[in-house]
Amino acid sequence: MILKRFVLAGVVLSVLAFVAVLGGTDPSSAGTFNPTLSIVLADTAAETPSDFTSDFGVPKGDVNFAGVVSFIPSDWGIVNGADIPVGEDVGFLTAAATLGLIGVACNSDVPVEFNMKNGSLDRTDTVSFNDTD
């Protein structure tokens, strides 16, 4: 009988502690996530090939993200990769990442740049990544 009361008291205290922890959370401290996205076409004429610039941003102070998935509208035409020489520039990505590096606060601005090249699944098609300029 004493053991049952002891176990019951332990369960009740555990439930109260759990409720106190959940009730003490402050959702306002979770942060906000208000990303922005803009697309700018170099040439807006219909049926005309055009470069475009996509600008995706997360305002300073907002929480960050783990990944981005984006889609090109189905009514846009995409040049077949076979029509572009292997190794040709097909895109450029720049990012200004604010990271916490080596155990410090998230206040280190790290510029990130990628030159995107047309590739091939054929292993005999090779691309030199050496600076040829």
> DSSP labels for 85-124?
-TT-EEEEEEEEEEE--TTS-S-EEEEEEEEEE---S-TT
CA-nearest of 118, 49, 131 to 85 is 118
Yes or no: say if 111 and 95 are a contact pair by the CB < 8 Å rule. yes
Asked if residue 91 belongs to a domain, the reply is yes
- Containing domain of residue 102, as a range? 32-117
Weakly modelled stretches of the chain, pLDDT under 50:
none
Output the pLDDT for position 14.
Answer: 65
Return the pLDDT at 8.
61
Residue 30: CB atoms within 10 Å? 9
| 3-class DSSP assignment, residue 29 | helix
The answer to whether the Cα torsion of 86, 87, 92, 94 is positive or negative is: positive
Structural domain includes residue 47: yes
Q: Which residue in the block uniquely carries the two structure tokens 């300073």?
A: 60
User: Residue 15: inside a domain, yes or no?
Assistant: no
Domain-located, residue 71: yes
Give the number of domains in the chain.
1
Q: What was the pLDDT predicted at 132?
A: 66
Q: What is the pLDDT of residue 19?
A: 55
Does 81 reside within a domain? Answer: yes
